[in-house]
């Protein structure tokens, strides 16, 4: 059931509607903790801010900014900040809730939070982007902090933006507070391995899942939607493992090559032109045909709501690895289940990013930094262990990996909730 909150418009297919449907599916497996389930259907705290900046041409423009702390039950808020023209409070609420589930699923000592600005960053100069970031950081400064809520990169944000956020927060508190954000440049308290961590987690969980369904990764055909930070790192690792990247879609185009794309040439093209569109050594497809491409593994690594029932009906893959947050609608999930297509859900599949964010935060507090090998080994171990626990839960209850991940995570969140009790 779609929980009604007076301050947002929710539909069954909107991000918060999707999240609520996912929670409803897990309630039967929560036993006595189900008493606390309503807690998951309400973000603890949502902050909406106005961000006025002076543009390069002297005009003043205002942007909408958000930071939502869905849950602080298991620790500080944690989750990225997204810059996108379609950002809404409702979307940020869902993204923050998925962070609560994800952080609990891999057992990080965090709640869940997310932020966003409704802006197309491609239309801003570097100076305007910096002003936007700094003013946003100042505005949400009343609720973030190394022990309160720790932002990180997400769609269209990166280590430079994290450096500006860290600097702005630090200027306001009068001390360098590296632990206030993660995903920083390595020379500013960032962690080795953070940039590729989300894609690495997709690869590691993908290989585990492939093994379990008897799908060989060498020679497997992989289709990737979104060649940003997550999609590109995952594609590189799959290609290194001998898989063929047969199709890629992004906001500039859809390209395919049945024998496999030359990924390093493609990534060079993307760096030079900003997208996959116009890449010569591939066939250009119309966007909807992406979902018909012959492949074994599909990696949606872009935005929410992509796998609708009709697309889920058409895809050829045996395995879907959700690099993006919220790419599958609940009605799409049902189709995939009927078709016996395995989905490794976002809330475990893309948890590698926040896991290395956690390592970064720990390293910042101890001012002692680990090698990239140490980071990757610890990351792989956490991801494999978390997925195996989820898999056992799914087998025990005969439920999907998504519902099993929610079961593991909600059990952790709600037992913490019950033990803490209600104040006052």
| Per-residue tokens: 107 | 């057992």
In the bound state with ligand GLU, the residue whose beta carbon lies nearer, of 282 and 300, is 300
How many residues sit close enough to ligand GLU to count as binding (CB under 6 A)?
Answer: 11
In the bound state with ligand GLU, the residue whose beta carbon lies nearer, of 17 and 77, is 77
Nearest to 23 by CA among 13, 31, 34, 32: 34
Q: Does 403 bind ligand GLU (CB under 6 A)?
A: no
Shortest Å, Cβ 62 to ligand GLU: 25
Binding mask 350-379 for ligand GLU (x = CB under 6 A): x--xx--x----------------------
Q: Judge whether 102 and 322 are in contact, CB under 8 Å.
A: no
Contacts of 294 (CB under 8 A, 6+ apart): 221, 246, 258, 316
Q: Does 152 bind ligand GLU (CB under 6 A)?
A: yes
Q: Does 201 bind ligand GLU (CB under 6 A)?
A: no
Site for ligand GLU in 324-343 (CB under 6 A): 325
Question: Which member of 78, 114, 184, 196 is catalytic?
Answer: 114
* CA–CA dist 2, 21 (Å, integer): 7
Q: What are phi and psi of 275, to 5 degrees?
A: -175, 175
Q: Does 80 bind ligand GLU (CB under 6 A)?
A: yes
Among 7-15, 59-67, 74-82, 117-125, the segment contacting ligand GLU (CB under 6 A) = 74-82
Site for ligand GLU in 163-192 (CB under 6 A): 182
Among 63-71, 347-355, 376-384, 415-423, the segment contacting ligand GLU (CB under 6 A) = 347-355
- 114: annotated active-site residue: yes
In the bound state with ligand GLU, the residue whose beta carbon lies nearer, of 247 and 343, is 343
Shortest Å, Cβ 362 to ligand GLU: 13
Helix axes 229-240 and 194-212, enclosed angle (nearest 10): 50
Residues in the chain: 424
Among 60-68, 86-94, 346-354, 393-401, the segment contacting ligand GLU (CB under 6 A) = 346-354
Shortest Å, Cβ 379 to ligand GLU: 12
Q: Judge whether 349 and 327 are in contact, CB under 8 Å.
A: no
Binding mask 286-325 for ligand GLU (x = CB under 6 A): ---------------------------------------x
In the bound state with ligand GLU, the residue whose beta carbon lies nearer, of 17 and 111, is 111
Q: How many CA atoms lie within 13 A of 415 on its CB side?
A: 8
Q: Does 78 bind ligand GLU (CB under 6 A)?
A: yes
In the bound state with ligand GLU, the residue whose beta carbon lies nearer, of 350 and 400, is 350
Q: Write out the catalytic residue numbers.
A: 114
Instruction: Give residues in contact with ligand GLU (CB under 6 A).
Output: 78-80, 152, 154, 182, 325, 350, 353-354, 357
């Amino acid at each position: 059931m779609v929980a009604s909150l007076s301050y947002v418009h929710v539909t069954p297919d909107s991000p918060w509607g999707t999240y609520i449907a996912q929670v409803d599916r897990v309630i039967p497996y929560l036993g006595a903790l189900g008493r606390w389930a309503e807690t998951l259907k309400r973000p603890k705290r949502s902050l909406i801010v106005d961000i006025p900046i002076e543009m390069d041409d002297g005009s003043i423009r205002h942007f909408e900014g958000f930071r939502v702390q869905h849950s602080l039950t298991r620790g500080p808020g944690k989750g990225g900040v997204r810059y996108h023209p379609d950002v809404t409070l409702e979307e940020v609420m869902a993204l923050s809730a998925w962070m609560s589930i994800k952080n609990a699923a891999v057992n990080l000592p965090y709640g869940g939070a997310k932020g966003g600005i409704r802006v197309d960053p491609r239309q801003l100069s570097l100076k305007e982007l910096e002003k936007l970031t700094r003013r946003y950081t100042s505005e949400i400064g009343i609720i973030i902090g190394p022990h309160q809520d720790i932002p990180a990169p997400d769609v269209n944000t990166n280590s430079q933006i994290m450096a500006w956020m860290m600097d702005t927060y630090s200027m306001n508190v009068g001390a360098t507070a590296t632990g206030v954000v993660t995903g920083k440049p390595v020379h500013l308290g960032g962690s080795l391995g953070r940039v590729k961590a989300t894609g690495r987690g997709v690869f590691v969980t993908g290989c585990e899942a492939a093994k379990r369904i008897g799908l060989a990764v060498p020679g497997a055909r992989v289709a990737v939607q979104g060649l940003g930070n997550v999609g590109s790192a995952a594609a590189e690792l799959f290609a290194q493992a001998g898989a063929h990247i047969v199709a890629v879609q992004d906001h500039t185009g859809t390209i395919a090559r049945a024998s496999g794309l030359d990924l390093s040439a493609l990534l060079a093209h993307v760096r030079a032109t900003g997208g996959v569109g116009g890449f010569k050594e591939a066939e250009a497809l119309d966007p909807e045909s992406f979902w018909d491409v012959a492949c074994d593994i599909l990696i949606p690594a872009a935005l929410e709501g992509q796998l609708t029932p009709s697309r889920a009906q058409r895809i050829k893959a045996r395995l879907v690895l959700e690099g993006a947050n919220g790419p599958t609608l609940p009605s799409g999930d049902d189709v995939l289940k009927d078709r016996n297509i395995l989905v490794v859900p976002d809330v475990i599949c893309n948890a590698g990013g926040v896991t290395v964010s956690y390592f970064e935060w720990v390293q910042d507090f101890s001012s002692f930094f680990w090698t990239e090998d140490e980071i990757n080994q610890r990351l792989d171990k956490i991801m494999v262990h978390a997925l195996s626990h989820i898999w056992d839960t799914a087998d025990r209850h005969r439920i999907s990996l998504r519902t099993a991940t929610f079961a593991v995570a909600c059990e952790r969140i709600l037992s913490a909730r019950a033990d803490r009790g209600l104040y006052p």
